[in-house]
Amino acid sequence: MNKIPVEKLVKLGLLSALSCLMMLMRFPMFLPFLEYDMADVPILIGTFLYGPWWGLLLTAMVCLLQGMTVSASSGIIGILMHFFATGAFVVTAGLLYKRFHSFKGALLSLVCGAFAMVLLMIPLNLLFTGYFMGTPIDIVVSLLLPAIIPFNVVKAFANGTFTLLLYKSIGRVLKKEFFHKKTDTAPE
């Protein structure tokens, strides 16, 4: 079994903490229960740095923390909805970026990941939102085009854009050594 380097765990922990901080800065869009935050941006950056499965692990950690703190009222449904939405984005974008590791590849992977998230959230909203909100399914269906789908489009493309803009600079910082190796030479 391969050991996971401590440095990688520290960096993943930092990205997870940053994501949790970003979820505190949220505001409603379209409807009061549809809240935008940038918590997916550090997760996507971690996905680009370490691969889709590490990104999915970050997603799970952040979803659980969010479900126990700022979104505790949404319970298990909120955790699952967030996990599936971000997970679809992360896995799609991560697999594509792993294959096409360039700026164009990053752009393509984020666009495809955004579409995967938006498309997956349609059936998930039909399955869970009515139950969670205590409303009939026809009300959820009536909210899809004017609110739910546009919200997911704006959220996914905004987070993809922020990721594209921030990935290289944050990636450079995270790739630098946190732990310096001792050398045999004395300092001057």
Q: Which residues contact 158 (CB under 8 A, 6 or more apart)?
A: 36, 38
User: What structural domains does the chain harbor?
Assistant: 6-14+37-175 (1.10.1760.20)
Query: Can you give the pTM of this predicted structure?
Result: 0.88
Task: List, for residues 107-153, the tens digit of each pLDDT value.
Answer: 999 999 999 999 999 999 999 988 888 889 999 999 999 999 999 99
Mean pLDDT of 97-114: 96
Residue pair 21/37 in contact (Cβ under 8 Å)? The answer is: no
Which one-letter DSSP state was computed for residue 35?
E
Task: List, for residues 44-90, the tens digit of each pLDDT value.
Answer: 999 999 999 999 999 999 999 888 887 777 788 889 999 999 999 99
Measured between alpha carbons, how far is 42 from 110 in angstroms, rounded to an integer? 13
For 33, the enclosing helix (H) or strand (E) is strand 31-36
**pLDDT score, position 182:** 46
Q: Which residues contact 130 (CB under 8 A, 6 or more apart)?
A: 136, 137, 139, 140
